[in-house]
Structure 1
Amino acid sequence: MLSSLSWLALEVKYLDPAVEFYTTQLDLPVRERTETEARLGAGDTDLVLRTPSGVPRGGLHTHYAFSIPGAGYDDWFERLAADFDLHEERFGPVRSLYFYDTEGNCVELMGSDDAGEGVTGLVEVVLEVEDLDRAVSFYGSLGMETVDVGENRTRVRLTAGPFDFELWEPHLGLADARGGVHVDLGFGVESVEDCVAAVADEGLSVERRDGWARVRDPDGHYLTFRE
């Protein structure tokens, strides 16, 4: 059902330093900007930085991952180590580095097999949930498949193919990261109505407009579907 991750929105207190962080440290281009919001490019996904000026607000203390070509991983590590206390993890042959942005979001750069240079996509988002089984059921209804369950049963990893979610009950993860609260996400989907029908009974609210629909999940995260 979910064919692409269109955007991840983060709430920022002050827009200028947040934009400077992502354009300077990660070379993300600014695609669009207003007084209260900036859309930056991460491959085919927008990273949206938004001041607290309305609802949906954007996520707080969200952990998420950008993909970078594995061949450029060492260069990124050397570049960022000059300014940040980096945390590194290995997942089989894949290396990831973690650091924090101006708003306390834990940013991960995950080495991948992608060709090219720079940040090539946004491939993982971590959501904080109150009831793990309920959240897994909700996102499973949207076609996401469970691929890993944490040993202490406080987290579950799901995939939609081009991107992954981790659902965390409240705890500190790798690099002391936390799952995001009231996160705003956008998706490209095969059918808006099929997505709404799959989760409408479990969602807190449903808003329909011409060409798109927005559902609020049981933990207060906002999901917008567009064909």
Structure 2
Amino acid sequence: MVSGLAWLALEAKYLEPAAAFYEDELDLTVRERGPREVVFAAGDTDLVVRRPDGVPRGGLHTHFAFSIPDAEYDDWWVRLSADHDLEEAQFGPARSLYLYDPDGNCVELGQRDVAGPGIDGIFEVVLEVRDLERAQAFYEVLGFDAVDEGDDRKRVRLQGPMALELWEPHLGIADARGGVHVDLGFETDDPAAALAAVRDRIGSLEREADDEVVIRDPDGHVLTFTSRA
């Protein structure tokens, strides 16, 4: 149903330090720079940093994960540990490091089979939800499949065009929290079909056009289904 993650938008109280973090410390390339938002290239996905002066707002305290090549992990650790208190987690053979951006978003850099150099995609986003069962059912209709459930029954990991974790309110690794009012763009061949699949489950329909549909999910996250490349 959805085939790719087009963008993830985060809210920045002050745009300049937020943009500097992603541009200078994480070496992301700027695609667009404006007075309200800065758009960075994270592989084929846009990372949008946005001021809270309109709607949709970007996500607050969102935990998400960048893909980095396996061989670059140690270099990133040395570089970022000079100015940040990092945490590390091991997932099978892959390692991830965790740090926080200026607005309290928990940023993960995880080893993945990507070309690089540097950050090459977003492989995970965590959303905070009120009702885990309801949220899981909603995203499964869009083509995500459950691959792991937390022992505490407060989270579920879904796999689709990227990993989507749904968390009832709690603290995760590095005291991360799921994001609230997160703005996600999903690529799809047929935005109208994606809307039809979830129409009876959405929180609201914000905009409907031939090549783009914007909705809010049951927890207020803004989802855009877009066929535009």
2:199 is aligned with 1:200: yes
Matches within 5 A, 1:47-86: 47-86=47-86
Shift of 1:124: 0.5
Could you list the structure 1 runs, at least 4 aligned residues long, displaced by more than 6 angstroms after superposition: none
Counterpart Cα distance in 2 of 1:97 and 1:74: 10
Gapped regions of structure 2 (runs ≥ 5): none
Residue 100 of structure 2 aligns with an amino acid whose one-letter code is: Y
Residue 74 of structure 1 aligns with an amino acid whose one-letter code is: D
Instruction: Give secondary structure in 1 for the equivalent of 2:194.
Output: helix
Gapped regions of structure 1 (runs ≥ 5): none
Instruction: Give secondary structure in 1 for the equivalent of 2:201.
Output: coil
| Match in the other structure for 1:19 | 19
| Match in the other structure for 1:36 | 36
Shift of 1:114: 1.6
Instruction: Give secondary structure in 2 for the equivalent of 1:200.
Output: helix
Q: Is the 8 A contact 1:4 1:187 kept in 2?
A: yes
Instruction: Give secondary structure in 2 for the equivalent of 1:27.
Output: coil
RMSD: 0.7
Counterpart Cα distance in 2 of 1:116 and 1:41: 12
Q: Is the 8 A contact 1:200 1:215 kept in 2?
A: no
Residue 8 of structure 1 aligns with an amino acid whose one-letter code is: L
Matches within 5 A, 1:1-227: 1-160=1-160, 162-206=161-205, 207-227=207-227
Counterpart Cα distance in 2 of 1:155 and 1:211: 33
Q: TM-score, normalised by structure 1?
A: 0.98
The superposition leaves residues 13-65 of structure 1 with CA deviations (integer Å, 9 ceiling, x where unpaired) of 11111110101110001100110011001000000000011111010000000
> How many residues of Structure 1 are paired with residues of Structure 2 in the alignment?
226
Counterpart Cα distance in 2 of 1:115 and 1:56: 33
Counterpart Cα distance in 1 of 2:143 and 2:116: 30
Counterpart Cα distance in 1 of 2:36 and 2:116: 32
The superposition leaves residues 159-213 of structure 1 with CA deviations (integer Å, 9 ceiling, x where unpaired) of 11x3110000000000000000000000111211111011111101112024200
Q: Is the 8 A contact 1:59 1:182 kept in 2?
A: yes
Between the aligned residues of both structures, percent identity stands at 61
Residue 72 of structure 1 aligns with an amino acid whose one-letter code is: E
Counterpart Cα distance in 1 of 2:37 and 2:54: 11
Counterpart Cα distance in 1 of 2:2 and 2:124: 14
> 187-196 or 118-127, which moves further after superposition?
187-196
Residue 164 of structure 1 aligns with an amino acid whose one-letter code is: A
Q: TM-score, normalised by structure 2?
A: 0.97
Shift of 1:132: 0.1
Counterpart Cα distance in 2 of 1:48 and 1:6: 11
Counterpart Cα distance in 2 of 1:116 and 1:143: 28
Residue 128 of structure 2 aligns with an amino acid whose one-letter code is: E
